[in-house]
Structure 1
Amino acid sequence: MIKDEAHYPPVDPVSAGLRGRCPRCGEGVLIEGLLGVKPKCSVCGLDNSFADAGDGPAVFVILIIGFIVVGLALWLEVNYSPALWVHLMLWIPLTTVLSLTLLRVLKGVMIALQYRNKAAEGQIDRG
């Protein structure tokens, strides 16, 4: 990771991540399109090549959305026993929308936390 020598006021990483903003200045857009990371901040010029959220956000999305949707589907089935098509019409769109929304938010938070904590790849000290 390239050393950051610029002086900016501290930005809350969770707030910046939830809003999808630059982790350094808190103003520029971090997430481009649906889930892409912009290569550079348009406000402060931060190079986002360090940003690698990996599979972390996806795992949290699977656990959180799975818990919510499966719980609601079981509740609906036990209380009302609707036809299978009702389940399909309810849970597939809900799961898709919630997953994409939460994935975007958690990706922003993960990248902002990586920046704040100066996270980098592990290296073996061979000295």
Structure 2
Amino acid sequence: MALLAERSVWRAMWNGLRSRCPSCGTGGLFDGFIRVSDACPHCGEALHHHRADDAPPYIVMMIVGHVVVAIMLLYEITMSPALWLHAAIFLPLTVLMSLILMRPTKGALVGLQWANLMHGFDPEYAGGDV
């Protein structure tokens, strides 16, 4: 059994955050907005093993919720604006922040899985995609 090369978690997550392959850092990670490519177009690393599933939306909701609620509370305490103004400002802000953070969050999670040899990313694992 050959030893695997050390996989840097931080480098893999940084590459994923930039929507790059966690292995080479050059090829694109995504085919669409958040659809992960089956393999890296540059180095050929198989990426279809990822199991990001519902984790990226939960992480994004946690981040956006904390930021938006804090800003909204500060705005309410200092300015006391009308409710329609809250809606006009904070609903688009929430949607925009969620869309901006979704792709980097999913990329970082795929990079984390790749670096930790999770969900079939281990080349020595002979099992299925369980």
TM class by shorter chain equals 0.7 to 0.9
The residue matched to 1:36 in structure 2 has which SS? coil
Deviation at 1:85, TM superposition (A): 1.7
Give, in whole Å, the separation in 2 of the partners of 1:60 and 1:36.
17
Give, in whole Å, the separation in 2 of the partners of 1:38 and 1:49.
7
Alignment of 1:21 onto 2:20: yes
The TM-score normalised by the length of structure 2 is 0.79
Identical-residue share of aligned pairs (%): 39
The residue matched to 2:14 in structure 1 has which SS? helix
Structure 1 vs Structure 2 CA RMSD: 2.4
Give, in whole Å, the separation in 1 of the partners of 2:99 and 2:8.
29
What is the match of residue 41 of structure 2? 42
5+ long unaligned stretches in structure 2: 121-130
Give, in whole Å, the separation in 1 of the partners of 2:114 and 2:52.
11
Shift of the 10–84 alpha-carbon distance from structure 1 to 2, 3 Å rule, reads closer
The residue matched to 1:40 in structure 2 has which SS? coil
How many residues align? The count is 117
Structure 1 residues 98-113: aligned runs within 5 Å: 98-113=97-112
The residue matched to 2:58 in structure 1 has which SS? helix
What is the match of residue 67 of structure 1? 66
Contact 1:10 1:24 in 2 (8 A): no
The TM-score normalised by the length of structure 1 is 0.81
